[in-house]
Chain A
Amino acid sequence: MGGSGSGKTTVLRLIGGQLRPSSGAVNVDGQIVHELDTENLYLMRRKMGMLFQHGALFTDLTAFENVAFPLREHTDLNEELIRTLVLMKLHAVGLRNAAQLKPAEISGGMGRRVALARAIALDPELIMYDEPFAGLDPISMGVTANLIRNLNDALGSTSILVSHDVKECFAIADYVYFLSSGKIVAHGTPAEMAVSTHPYVKQFVNAEADGPVPFHYPGKTLADDLGLHAKGSR
């Protein structure tokens, strides 16, 4: 968790190998990500599933074909088996009957769920979610959060959730890390974080206007801008 620009999405991209670290290393399942060659990187990515902000569904394909995409690309399963698997994944997210619709024909929340079904198509060991609750109504948010938790438990995978929605995240997460300006400033269980006295965490969790993250954009003071000064201090 963290504010905008704190580096949360960057961390996901580093894990997925889309960005190279300028120093240090990212170790996934025993392998250093940026040292892998293209082939091994692709092999590693097959063990991961990623849900992008706003879904990133392929707009020219139907929901069914979107979920079938990773199956068709990486397995040699016949069409019947693929159909069964895809429908099962869509059923898990409650959209089996929307299989023939295109992303433009379904709502944002539904599209997010189809993207989730696509992310788990290959039953990955590591699932990453980039701001999965962004722009969703309360109902969709609740549904998505529950899905994330249940799928994680059902598949026995590890899930990394990047978000700034405190309520939903604390409800489903086992452990929380707080990022600010690219550094981890605090970490602990949701219960510990809710009562944390760390100034950044406190401001974040309680949605306070001013704190370590300032309200005013840094620069001149109001007095300087308006040309006001205390009497006798010219």
Chain B
Amino acid sequence: MIARFLAAIGAWLRHSIQDLGFAVRSFFIIIAASGGLFRRPRLVVEQLFFVGSRSLVITTVSGLFVGMVLGLQGYYTLTTYGATQSLGQLVALSLMRELGPVVTALLFAGRAGTSLTAEIGLMKAGEQLSAMEMMAVNPIQRVLAPRLWAGVIAMPILGGIFTAVGIIGSYLVGVVLIGVDEGSFWSQMQAGVDLWKDIVNGTYIKSMVFGIAVTFIALFQGYQAQPTPEDVSGATTRTVVISSLMVWWLDFMMTAVMFSK
């Protein structure tokens, strides 16, 4: 009995490691196939529209609301210490280091990730990728690689926009609505924010890493889906779940590396 249980775990482990290896190999296959994109940047630009521009609305609106809520909650807490002039710094650092990249990545997984998964899954089910192969066009280079690069480029941009809009949102609530001093709002923020550590490292590098992870997971799930409605829909769910978990884990790793003394 025990032996069978252990054997089952062993088999599961082996399968998982094999799947992981396959996924990593697929990732590098896509990167390797990207060389040709320099001659056809148009493909990446088109995908940048679908993946980036179309995510603008949800990112901006979410950023605004997150910033406003942060401003409000931050004010309530800081009031008890009489430290409301630090509101700007509180909001800016929270957004830049954590909320900006992470929330943007989760939204991105939900909006762009699922649409990528469904698109690739359906293209595969309708034999469009096979047809491309038979027409001597490499579907990995033509279809998958542009989408991956578009995601890698779009995520940092979206992360930055989310963070900036969030700060503006907290300004609207804190300074304009509640009446925190405008001067100290900005000056304390500027004093506490480090260009390299918080903005470049925190917002942009984190967003880019999340972008790579989320986009690749979305493409991979779509490509591996069986050509049935159940499996394509299962694949989109898996994209969101796996992307989200990956984002949390990567965030912890990066925070530990970037922000330790």
Direct contact of A and B (CB under 8 A): yes
Which chain A residues border B127 with CB–CB below 8 Å?
A: 52-54, 56
- Please, which residue of chain B has its CB at the minimum distance from the CB of A74? B136
Indicate if the CB atoms of B126 and A73 lie closer than 8 Å: no
In the complex, B178 has a CB within 8 A of chain A: no
1/0 contact string of A39-73 vs chain B (CB within 8 Å): 00111011010101110111100000000011001
Which chain B residues border A73 with CB–CB below 8 Å?
A: 135-137
In the complex, B128 has a CB within 8 A of chain A: yes
- Interface residues in B121-161 (C-beta closer than 8 Å to A): 122-123, 126-128, 130-131, 133-137
Expressed in whole angstroms, the Cα–Cα distance for A100 and B94 within the complex equals 50
What is the minimal beta-carbon distance from A49 to any residue of chain B, in angstroms? Answer: 8
A-B contacts, CB under 8 A, total: 44
Which chain B residues border A59 with CB–CB below 8 Å?
A: 122-123, 126, 128
Give the one of A43, A46, A59 with max B CB within 10 A.
Answer: A59
In the complex, A27 has a CB within 8 A of chain B: no
Indicate if the CB atoms of A54 and B136 lie closer than 8 Å: no
Pairs A-B, 7 closest by C-beta atoms: A42-B136, A56-B127, A45-B136, A56-B131, A50-B134, A52-B127, A70-B135
- Interface residues in A153-180 (C-beta closer than 8 Å to B): none
Given contacts A18-B133, A54-B127, A58-B131, 20 further A-B contacts (CB under 8 A): A16-B134, A18-B134, A42-B136, A45-B136, A46-B136, A52-B130, A52-B131, A52-B134, A54-B126, A56-B126, A56-B128, A56-B130, A59-B122, A59-B123, A59-B126, A69-B135, A69-B137, A70-B137, A73-B137, A74-B135
Expressed in whole angstroms, the Cα–Cα distance for A215 and B179 within the complex equals 83
Which chain A residues border B123 with CB–CB below 8 Å?
A: 59
B interface residues (Cβ-Cβ under 8 A, vs A): 122-123, 126-128, 130-131, 133-137
Which chain B residues border A74 with CB–CB below 8 Å?
A: 135-136
Expressed in whole angstroms, the Cα–Cα distance for A54 and B130 within the complex equals 13
Expressed in whole angstroms, the Cα–Cα distance for A70 and B131 within the complex equals 11
Expressed in whole angstroms, the Cα–Cα distance for A45 and B130 within the complex equals 12
Indicate if the CB atoms of B134 and A48 lie closer than 8 Å: yes
Once A56-B126, A59-B126 are accepted as A-B contacts, the answer to whether A45 and B131 lie under 8 Å apart by CB is no
Expressed in whole angstroms, the Cα–Cα distance for A50 and B133 within the complex equals 10
Expressed in whole angstroms, the Cα–Cα distance for A43 and B136 within the complex equals 7
What is the minimal beta-carbon distance from A54 to any residue of chain B, in angstroms? Answer: 7
Expressed in whole angstroms, the Cα–Cα distance for A41 and B122 within the complex equals 26
- Please, which residue of chain B has its CB at the minimum distance from the CB of A43? B136
Q: Which residue of the partner chain, among A16, A18, A46, A58, contacts B128 with CB atoms under 8 Å?
A: A58
What is the minimal beta-carbon distance from B184 to any residue of chain A, in angstroms? Answer: 52
What is the minimal beta-carbon distance from A74 to any residue of chain B, in angstroms? Answer: 7
Which chain A residues border B135 with CB–CB below 8 Å?
A: 45, 50, 69-70, 73-74
What is the minimal beta-carbon distance from B125 to any residue of chain A, in angstroms? Answer: 10
Which chain B residues border A69 with CB–CB below 8 Å?
A: 135, 137
Which chain A residues border B131 with CB–CB below 8 Å?
A: 50, 52, 56, 58
Which chain B residues border A57 with CB–CB below 8 Å?
A: 128
Which chain B residues border A53 with CB–CB below 8 Å?
A: 127
Which chain A residues border B136 with CB–CB below 8 Å?
A: 41-43, 45-46, 73-74
- Please, which residue of chain B has its CB at the minimum distance from the CB of A73? B137
- Please, which residue of chain B has its CB at the minimum distance from the CB of A38? B138
Expressed in whole angstroms, the Cα–Cα distance for A41 and B133 within the complex equals 10
Give the one of A16, A45, A56 with max B CB within 10 A.
Answer: A56
